[in-house]
Chains A and B, each alone.
Chain A
């Protein structure tokens, strides 16, 4: 079983639209994992049925039981996150700042601070119209630990793929270079980078590829809206050349992505458009590269 992770560094380059297209092209051969748990969008294109739902707990939150508190203030003293406020003579934990280290509860002389487990979101297993399954999640608002929820989604997808003898897990990664992306990348067989020929696209591509290199994973690149800026396009092309990143496809600046999305479809299912055949070829190319490895 091979794991293909699609990432972009920069948001809005077409990562999810491309991933969903691959999911449709892969039909029953792949389990899909939406690891962009912060702002998950894949469900809009895949209409999952949420047949299994589970809560996900990760991290803790300090809670001061006021009745036993002697207002000594030691908790506030040791908290490095400025998460304990003194309000009207009472010490109160600000849940948005508390990082759940538990230091306050360990040193509280009257043992009046509890650490409660935090529900940071839900994860789901769904059936999708390709005849396969999708694992996805919804992160609770402002929750920490999205990296752990990402790991959970990915591990479940892998488990399913192994149980059902699937060839692939296709992963929609998250933007950025921080902990959710690190979680998305770990264990990948191949990385697909989706970028666009803009100064931001190039900048973010270089940064996220630095991360990919640390994992020593082979990568290929899709340049979306390739005809937007010739000069930056050439710079991206040079970069791919020098880093030996596979050039997978150049997609034209085209309304089909948005139009298809508005109808809840992937671009490869949408009425005649020039992107359809390019993405089909791209998917076949990726399979070929992976199987050669």
Chain B
């Protein structure tokens, strides 16, 4: 079963929920937590972990072989991303614009643009007690998160059965879609403020477009107003849990500590989420 934890707005508690839920579930089940927020991965900061495997991740980009090139201009014409440009008698490749579609390379009549690897980040596989934890980090200066997210999901799928929890990137654009599109269930984390509500609505639009089952967890419950609850009730969206707002929680978070062992209210909320997800799974997840 794949559970994606997402939110439109950043900083609502995705990572808090992901790390606590995954660690809690791992006490009784086979669980892997995957940090797909490859631009700013944080889950690892909350886990006492031991590295068991790491690998470099690459994307494929074309490399110009001057001696073979006849300067016919086909490559430039075939690249929809303006990543291959002919400038006088030179072919320039802009790796950050390249989507690795291979069109320039395979449609080159003289094979002057073979594809080669370019490093975009690193994948690390850790053990944190019973929990398996996978984290990928995009290299600074690399602009595209999607290829790394894809490869990280692929690594997870080919190495694990059981419960997979994806800590997704914030927002509603392509990296989020990539992270949640294969999930069986999506948990949207929000906070009861106008910003939280606005971004929750965007996130709901996104998951509805994807035709996914989902529920909401309200973090920092007690601040702001009741609008998020009213919205969920009007839209028939299940509220799975409410994590209270407290300075104690904020302090534990600031130190990189898990919450549920020292704050019973948090554990109770995790149990509610677990029960909800497991009963949903039994109903048959679409």
Contact = CB atoms under 8 A, between A and B. Distances in A.
Interface of A: 9-13, 16, 38-39, 41, 44, 60, 78, 80-81, 96, 99-103, 106-107, 115, 139, 141-144, 146-147, 174-182, 196-201, 203-204, 207-208, 210-211, 214, 225, 228-229, 231-232, 253, 255, 258, 261-262, 264
A143 B173 contact: yes
Contacts of B45: 199-200, 203
Contacts of A262: 193-194, 224-225
B23 interface: no
Contacts, number: 181
Given A16-B195, A177-B140, A139 B224 contact: no
Interface stretch (B26-34, B205-213, B236-244): B205-213
B280 interface: no
Contacts of A60: 80
B254 A146 contact: no
Interface of B: 8-12, 15, 37, 39-40, 42, 45-46, 78, 80-81, 99-103, 106-107, 138, 140-145, 169-177, 181, 193-195, 198-199, 202, 205-206, 209-210, 223-225, 247, 250-251, 253-256
13 contacts: A13-B11, A80-B101, A100-B80, A101-B101, A101-B103, A142-B176, A179-B144, A198-B254, A198-B256, A200-B42, A225-B250, A261-B193, A262-B225
B223 A176 contact: no
Contacts of B199: 39, 41
B55 to A, nearest CB: 20
Given A141-B206, A197-B254, A228-B254, A96 B193 contact: no
Contacts of A179: 143-144
B143 A178 contact: yes
A255 B46 CA distance: 26
A99 B101 contact: yes
B171 A142 contact: no
A89 B272 CA distance: 44
A255 B145 CA distance: 34
Contacts of B205: 141
A204 B140 CA distance: 11
B255 A229 contact: yes
Contact of A204 (B40, B181, B193, B206): B40
